[in-house]
Amino acid sequence: MKLKHVQHILPIVIIGIVLFIYQNCAPIGSGSQTGSQNVTDSNSGSSNTDPTNNDPAPPPPTPVPGQPDPCAGNVPPTLNGHSSPNSLSTVNAIVYSSLGGTTESGGAGINLKINGASNDSQGLQQHRFLCTQRPTGNAFNTDCNDNFTFGNNLNFGMMPPQSNCQSGTASFDLQLADNCSSNNISTNKIRINLTVFDACMAESKMTANSYRQQDKFGVGAAISGTWMAIAASGDDDAGYNHGAIHMFSRSSNSTTFKQKLIPSDAAGAGNGGEIESVALSGNILVAGSAKSSNYNGAVYVFKNNNGTWTETQKINPPTAAQMWFGYSVAFDGSTLVVGAIFDNEKGTQAGAIYIYNYNGSTFQLNRKLTASNAIPFQWYGFSVDVDNGNIAVGAPYSDQGPAANSGSVYYYSSSSFNEKILTSSKVNTGGKLGYAVALSSTKVVAGAPLSNNDAGKAFLFDGSAAWTEHEFVGRSGQFGTSVDIEGTKVLIGAPYRNTRRGATYYYDTKKGYGSNDYFETMARDGVSGDQFGRSVKISGTYATVGAWLDKVNGIDTAGSAYLLELSSPSPRFPK
């Protein structure tokens, strides 16, 4: 709990209570993380191990020559609620505990009024809060040990460092004392009643059954219904960096490993294929292996039959031209889109996409698309998505935007394949719009993770409203490295957030796109370097998030992924 001095009108001081929690997490009632835990106050340096939970009073203030004695009259201070009515005796507050920090209901704080010594024109008088009883309940610890003068900020109560993602209640009484006399204690009390709601998303962590350094499990992820596919580009079971896909099933918000998939010809595919891109719809999984067969690339198709996944088809590029075929893949149940970023038809590494139709048993090539304004090295096809046959394609190195390498996105309708080029004047040089794209009907979400000095940006282009552009207000950390949209739900990854611990940002576009409209999530066990948010994918009220460089049981860069339940933050989100 933080009290902040907001006004100085002697002899009245107005302060406001602001509640906060550190960014850690543990279930309530675990170990010593409940109300009995010792907490050190960050301002006074004292501990609440003493029975009264209060520090000794500081020495009385020394009068300034020529000024009134601040202790003249020895009038006890009073503590009141600065609201209507003025003599508030009970404060009821609601706070929300999440990994993005703790906020209070309405965010306005609780104003208290302190009446101190009338002669203290120099602001020398020090006051301190007294907890007249220890807090009850399991959600809050306090340390009322701080001394403060009129101009100071202070922390007088703190949640335990392990207290994020908790719920519960707490109650405690406050009184006020000054340092003029040991008897100068306010006769009135204010009862603080707190209700803490757990506002974290439910999560389940997934890792490979066996792993090595540089497996990069979580570099790509997909989810459809109760199945999840997690790509591990550095898996070496079939040879150096050939890659693998790990299949998990979901029951509610828990996950179970089911099967590891390795392409049947992986061992003979030359250099490592490094499977990074995966797409899942119903019982069909497609996986891109862009570096296989001397960088010609390939796409592998797997089908689920009664819970067992079996390879059913390998799709080779139409020509063997080191085009990195399969760098990106997307599948909506009937249409498959494959990105080939080094396709040279329109210029060196200009890129192309290949569109396949699924007839229920095999995929057949429908057509090839390239950008109408193609230039060399724009890497058209770096990211792709498809929904009901409509297609979005990212070209992050395109110069078609306002500056070099600002990037662009291409949209094609299923009926005509007419092209719409999407750019943003808000993306600066090297911003790379189109690094990630996602599509829901005619709404395109695109990330520009290197815009704004690598802080990142993301946008929604609404094709149902003349391609109106909306910018998502997020945080730093290469925001926009990964994106997904399903209906009004949008999830955006920022894997470099918080010293590369990583974060995701969840929006409901019915509510808005601004700083008050997202829900920030970090892995509960996340640490610096994990890059949580490298990949994101939504299916219904669940999402997968990759943390491809997570150190798992001491193995660096083994990687992990998480299942998030998007509907679980309640009642705070959406605001």
Q: What is the mean pLDDT of the chain?
A: 79
Which is it for strands 90-98 and 190-198: parallel, antiparallel or unpaired?
A: parallel
> What are the tens digits of pLDDT across the range 427-465?
999 999 999 999 999 999 999 999 999 999 999 999 999
Q: Give the confidence band of 37 by pLDDT, cuts at 50, 70, 90.
A: very low
Is there a contact between 123 and 8 (Cβ–Cβ < 8 Å)? yes
- What per-residue confidence (pLDDT) applies to 515? 73
CA–CA dist 279, 303 (Å, integer) = 12
Q: What average pLDDT does range 301-328 have in this prediction?
A: 96
Domains along the sequence of the chain with CATH: 2-198 (no CATH), 202-565 (2.130.10.130)
- What per-residue confidence (pLDDT) applies to 446? 99
- What per-residue confidence (pLDDT) applies to 178? 72
Q: 155-165: buried (b, 16+ CB within 10 Å) or exposed (e) per residue?
A: bbbbbbebbbb
Pick the closest to residue 314 from 353, 271, 269 (CA basis): 269
Q: What average pLDDT does range 193-211 have in this prediction?
A: 84
471, two tokens: 């910018």
Q: What average pLDDT does range 398-426 have in this prediction?
A: 94
Instruction: Report percent pLDDT > 70 for the chain.
Output: 67
Residues of the chain by 3-state class (helix, strand, coil), percent to 5 = 5, 45, 50
Report the DSSP beta bridge partners of residue 416: none
Q: Please tell me the least confidently modeled range out of 183-197, 308-322, 421-435, 546-560.
A: 183-197
> What are the tens digits of pLDDT across the range 177-188?
777 766 667 766
Is there a contact between 172 and 547 (Cβ–Cβ < 8 Å)? no
Question: In the 3-class helix/strand/coil scheme, how is 326-373 assigned residue by residue?
Answer: EEEEEECCCEEEEEECCCCCCCCCCEEEEEEEECCCCEEEEEEECCCC
Instruction: Report percent pLDDT > 90 for the chain.
Output: 55
DSSP letters along 476-541, please? SSSBTSEEEEETTEEEEEETTHHHHTBEEEEEETTT-SSTTSEEEE--TT--TT--EEEEEEEETT
> What are the tens digits of pLDDT across the range 120-141?
666 666 666 666 555 554 444 4
SS3 464: helix
Q: Please tell me the least confidently modeled range out of 89-98, 387-396, 502-511.
A: 89-98
- What per-residue confidence (pLDDT) applies to 574? 38
Which is it for strands 78-81 and 110-115: parallel, antiparallel or unpaired?
A: antiparallel
> What are the tens digits of pLDDT across the range 41-94?
222 223 333 334 445 556 666 767 777 776 766 666 666 554 434 445 676 766
526, two tokens: 């996340």
CA–CA dist 400, 403 (Å, integer) = 7
- Is pTM, for the whole model, over 0.85? no
SS3 405: coil
Q: What average pLDDT does range 555-570 have in this prediction?
A: 89
